[in-house]
């Protein structure tokens, strides 16, 4: 019968059960592996890497600590595009009206998937969302949507038409992304919604520039043969005065002779039938 080894020769465990393991790989990096809380109140084994043992261990300890607080680790294998497709066809379709779902689908297909679809859902950060929205504000939309290929216009010939999205559309894209990520948080696939605290610029109302005197005269001359020409003569001075009183700049010194002439015509007695 073999005698037991002395206590001094036994291997001493440096980490307790449940703390994971840390070891050095052949490529020189350190790898830490352990079980953490996953969606559906289950456990899954994850692996993190670092250039030093301390760095890899710190990453694993942070994920284990988040799991102990009830925050599950995100589904690292899922991309933003895959999750948006699942949310659109499996969740939003049962919660919103048909027209709203159609707008959601257009927003996801034209903007969110081309801009963020390849990003890992677990690695999506607030910086990624903010950079995506900034690009969306200034980028010409013809090329990402493939409009130039068949038309041979815009960027396809090196001459961008600078067709940009309105601030309202950018805010709508942001709201759709927030809704999708909020559902991921509710399903315990993400610890937090990274798009929630990002503020989009408030859309500014357009300021209309009134017609100049030369433009007004040209308009009246062009529409002289129109059956509503007299109405145009009456409406132009009133519209110009209304726009000027609202704070817009611009001068429209339209002669009042035309409205007077129109008024004279309107005061003439009509021929008896």
Predicted pLDDT of residue 257: 41
pLDDT above 90 for 106: yes
CATH annotation of 80-186: 1.10.150
What is the arithmetic mean of pLDDT over 234-246? 60
Alpha-carbon distance 116 to 210, whole Å? 42
Q: Name the residue ranges covered by the structural domains of the chain.
A: 20-68, 80-186, 213-262
Predicted pLDDT of residue 181: 93
Alpha-carbon distance 250 to 210, whole Å? 6
pLDDT above 70 for 77: no
Q: Lowest-pLDDT range, 95-104, 188-197, 240-249, 264-273? A: 264-273
pTM above 0.75, yes or no: no
Identify the residue with better confidence: 213 or 40.
213
């Amino acid at each position: 019968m073999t005698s037991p080894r002395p206590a001094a020769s036994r291997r001493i465990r440096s980490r307790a059960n449940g703390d994971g393991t840390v070891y050095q790989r052949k490529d020189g990096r350190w790898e830490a592996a352990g079980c953490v809380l996953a969606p559906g109140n289950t456990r899954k084994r994850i692996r993190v890497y670092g250039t030093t043992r301390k760095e890899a261990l710190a990453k694993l300890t942070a994920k284990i600590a988040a799991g102990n607080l009830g925050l599950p680790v995100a589904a690292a294998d899922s991309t933003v595009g895959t999750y948006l497709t699942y949310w659109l066809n499996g969740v939003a379709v049962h919660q919103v009206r048909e027209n709203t779902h159609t707008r959601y689908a257009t927003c996801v297909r034209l903007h969110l998937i081309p801009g963020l679809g390849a990003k890992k859902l677990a690695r999506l950060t607030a910086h990624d969302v903010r950079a995506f929205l900034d690009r969306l504000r200034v980028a010409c939309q013809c090329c990402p949507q493939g409009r130039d290929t068949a038309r041979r216009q815009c960027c396809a010939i090196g001459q961008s038409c600078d067709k940009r999205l309105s601030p309202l559309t950018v805010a709508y894209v942001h709201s759709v992304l927030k809704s999708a990520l909020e559902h991921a948080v509710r399903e315990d696939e993400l610890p937090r919604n990274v798009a929630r605290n990002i503020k989009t610029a408030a859309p500014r109302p357009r300021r209309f520039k009134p017609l100049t005197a030369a433009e007004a005269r040209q308009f009246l001359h062009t529409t002289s043969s129109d059956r509503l020409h007299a109405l145009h003569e009456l409406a132009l001075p009133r519209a110009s005065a209304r726009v000027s009183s609202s704070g817009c700049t611009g001068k429209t010194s339209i002669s009042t002779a035309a409205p007077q002439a129109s008024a004279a015509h309107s005061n003439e007695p009509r021929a008896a039938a």
